[in-house]
Structure 1
Amino acid sequence: MKLLVLGATGPTGRHLVDLALRSGDSVTALVRNPAGLGDLADRVTPITADATSPRDVSAAAAGHDAIVSALGRGNSVRADGLFTRASAAAIGAAREAGVSRLVWLSSFGVGHTYDWSSTPQKLIYSTLLRSLYADKAIADESIRSSGLDWTIVLPTRLTHGPAKGTYHADDRLPMKGNPSISRADVAAFMHGAAHGGEWSRRSAVISD
């Protein structure tokens, strides 16, 4: 499978790229700085570009089977319109290039999933992450209404732990406290979703 990966140099994106390569996929990594790919640089096709630029993403998307976005804001809680702009670019690129499959990393607590959150989660989402989640909500709704074959991935609090392979995934999961999931497990779920149809046009809540 030919994958165009956005956010490939981020902590989740690197897991995703590594897993895709080990699975035999062909990977194009759209990155601002190819040096961030480290030891993966010689095994992918790096394209230096801006994930929020419709022109850049459209040029990169041609010839691919799926666009997979692991974009994130790192340790920043400021949105700066990243997800709104990147989703618009990805949707436009997919349509222009004839790529129907889009797997998009969001967060649990965004949009309607806020109502399913535990009390501790609601406190964090409505204060510290309020701006970031508002931007993600706009992006997610744009993707849902895009007409593409989309999957939106909604993990709980992300950690840097190893993949366990024992996480739970469903349209909705019960929440207690502030549960977490490793970025490695999130990457594995996203890779599987890109290859299969089970999560076509569905939003997946995932957590340990």
Structure 2
Amino acid sequence: MKLLILGATGPTGRHVLDLAVRSGDSVTAFVRNPAALGDLAEQVATVTGDATSHRDLAAAAAGHDAIVSALGRGSSVRADGLFTRASAAVIGAAAEAGVSRLVWLSSFGVGHTFGWSSGAQKLIYGTLLRSIYADKAIADESIRSSGLDWTVVYPTRLTHGPAKGAYRADDRLPMKGNPTISRADVAAFMHSAAQGSEWIHRTAVISD
């Protein structure tokens, strides 16, 4: 499969990239800094660009079967419009390049999933993460209205732990406290979802 991975050098995107390479996919890493790819630079195609640029993304997306986005703001809690701008660019670029499949990483507690959150989660989502979640909510709705074969992924609190392979994924999951999931397991789900049709036009809540 020919995959274009956005956010490929980020903490979750790097796991997606590693899995795709190990699985034998033909991979293009869309990055701002190619040097951050390290030892994988020689095993993947690399495109340097801005993930909020329609032009950059359209040029990169041509000829691919799917786009997997693991874009994030790192440790920042300020969105600065990243997700709304990137979603608009991805939607337009995918349509122009003729790529219908999109797997998009969001966060549990964004948009309609806020109502399913536990009390502990709502406290965090409604205060510390309020700005970034508002931006993500707009982006997610744009993707669901895009006409693409989308999957929007809603992981609970992300950790840097190893993959367990025993996570739960469904359209809705019961929540207690502030559950977690490793970035490695989220990456495994996203990579698997991109390969098949089970999760097309579905929002996937994922947690340990």
Band the TM-score falls in, shorter-chain normalisation: over 0.9
Alignment gaps of 5+ in structure 2: none
Query: Is the aligned partner of 1:130 residue 2:130?
Result: yes
Alignment gaps of 5+ in structure 1: none
**Number of residue-to-residue matches in the alignment:** 208
Residue matched to 1:159? 159
Residue matched to 1:52? 52
For 1:72-129, what per-residue CA distance to the aligned partner results, in whole angstroms no more than 9, with x for missing partners? 0000000000000010111001100000000000000000000000000000000000
Give the deviation of 1:198 after TM superposition.
Answer: 0.6
Residue matched to 1:149? 149
Residue matched to 2:174? 174
For 1:6, give the aligned amino acid.
Answer: L
TM-score, L = length of structure 1: 0.99
Pairs within 5 Å for 1:10-25? 10-25=10-25
CA distance in 2, matches of 1:41, 1:18: 11
Give the deviation of 1:136 after TM superposition.
Answer: 0.2
Tell me which moved more, 35-44 or 127-136.
Answer: 35-44
Query: Is the aligned partner of 1:92 residue 2:92?
Result: yes
CA distance in 1, matches of 2:85, 2:37: 23
Q: Share of identical aligned residues, percent?
A: 83
Let me know the Cα RMSD of the aligned residues: 0.4
Q: Which runs of 4+ in 1 moved over 2 A?
A: none
